[in-house]
Copies of this chain bind each other. A is one copy, B any other.
Amino acid sequence: MSEKTTIYDIAKELNISAATVSRALNNNSKISKSTCKLVMETATKLNYKQNKLALALRSGKSNNIGVIVPRIDSNFFASVIRGIEEELYPNKYNIIICQSHEDEQREIENINTLLNAQVDGILMSISNVSSENDRIIKRVVEKNVPLIFFDRKKNIDGVSSVTINDFEGGYIATKHLIDGGHKRIAHLSGNQSLEIYENRFKGYKQAIADNGLDFNEDYVLQARSNVDAGIVAAKSLLKLKTPPDAIFSSSDFAALGAIQEIKEQGIRIPEDFCVVGFGNEPFTKFMELSISSVDQSPLEMGKMAAKVFLEQINNHENFKMEKKVVLMPELHIRKSSSKSSI
């Protein structure tokens, strides 16, 4: 009972050939109704399950796709993965998850593992932009394994990507603060070597320029994406001779830390100081002092990445296709930046 039954078992039982069984199982047109029915019956009787491994080996299609994320236990990445899964499930693809832990070496290992496992495609958010992983990424492209970047991308020929317009995100967040009457707006940025943070920063700068404000380099600090970094950053900003009166943070966590520190120093939010974050993490709307934040629509991003993959895989021609999808970010205005909604 614990033995796996194969098409040969069914064939033997019925005194027919394995090929016929295979055909019947696959609803091949030219099989008599009777044998087809017989095969189906014995299949269920013997509790037959198709071995996808054998099928994959033969067809060269594993029906697995690999997803590489820096870490899975962040709301953003988990939501993207959910989106991917929901889009791919009806298409019979399984998802193999890898975490790079922001480590480039690990990322390369992940890609190799996935390639060895013969995945039909790789969807990834890169951890880092060094030239080290360029080589292997190019190899993926050469092997004609569809590769799609989401959120954190890299510009490489033949590689599609699904991102949000981070520039726009930075722009609308900053513009919102300017509209609120703020003139000294600081910016907490992430690792600028990543396009996403660079673009959010550029959007911020552009909004500043477009509205006749002065760009002040002292107002731009780098802060990792956690609460403590936000606290540290806010501390140093508030120590300036002319401290800012608002912050646009590239990270919700840093925004939270900044808010904590600002309130700690007796400054009122949003009356005296406003803050806007980025990412729309669940906690931003749960806070009593809810935090305004730019939403990245991770679910949609995941679905879109999956869709692009499907297009690519179904593009049987041998011309390479490269698609760049850019989603629009949406600013969710909450208490941390709206004096009216107090």
Chain A stretch 94-144: residues in CB contact (< 8 A) with chain B: 94-99, 112-113, 115-118, 139, 142-144
Interface flag for A1 (CB, 8 Å): yes
B-side contacts of A94, CB under 8 Å = 96, 98, 113, 117
B-side contacts of A49, CB under 8 Å = 112, 115-116
B-side contacts of A37, CB under 8 Å = none
B-side contacts of A97, CB under 8 Å = 81, 85, 95-97
A: number of interface residues (CB 8 Å):
51
Interface flag for A165 (CB, 8 Å): no
B52 near A118 (CB under 8 angstroms)?
yes
User: Which chain B residue shows the least CB distance to A76?
Assistant: B73
Chain A stretch 269-303: residues in CB contact (< 8 A) with chain B: 282-283, 286-289, 299
Chain B nearest CB, measured from A94 CB (Å): 5
Query: With A and B bound together, what is the CA distance between A283 and B1 in angstroms?
Result: 49
Chain B proximity mask over A41-82: 1 for CB below 8 Å, otherwise 0: 000000101111110110000101000000111110011011
Chain B nearest CB, measured from A146 CB (Å): 13
A52 near B117 (CB under 8 angstroms)?
yes
Query: With A and B bound together, what is the CA distance between A289 and B288 in angstroms?
Result: 8
B-side contacts of A256, CB under 8 Å = 286
A116 near B50 (CB under 8 angstroms)?
yes
User: Which chain B residue shows the least CB distance to A51?
Assistant: B118
Query: With A and B bound together, what is the CA distance between A95 and B56 in angstroms?
Result: 18
B289 near A286 (CB under 8 angstroms)?
no
B-side contacts of A287, CB under 8 Å = 283, 286-288
B142 near A2 (CB under 8 angstroms)?
yes
> Which one of B52, B73, B115, B288 contacts A116 once the chains associate, using CB atoms below 8 Å?
B52
User: Which chain B residue shows the least CB distance to A298?
Assistant: B73
Query: With A and B bound together, what is the CA distance between A41 and B107 in angstroms?
Result: 24
Query: With A and B bound together, what is the CA distance between A289 and B283 in angstroms?
Result: 13
B-side contacts of A23, CB under 8 Å = none
Interface flag for A33 (CB, 8 Å): no
Chain B nearest CB, measured from A157 CB (Å): 15
Interface flag for A307 (CB, 8 Å): no
Complex A-B: 16 CB contacts under 8 Å: A1-B142, A2-B144, A47-B139, A49-B112, A51-B116, A52-B117, A52-B118, A53-B53, A53-B118, A57-B57, A72-B85, A73-B79, A73-B81, A86-B99, A95-B96, A286-B286
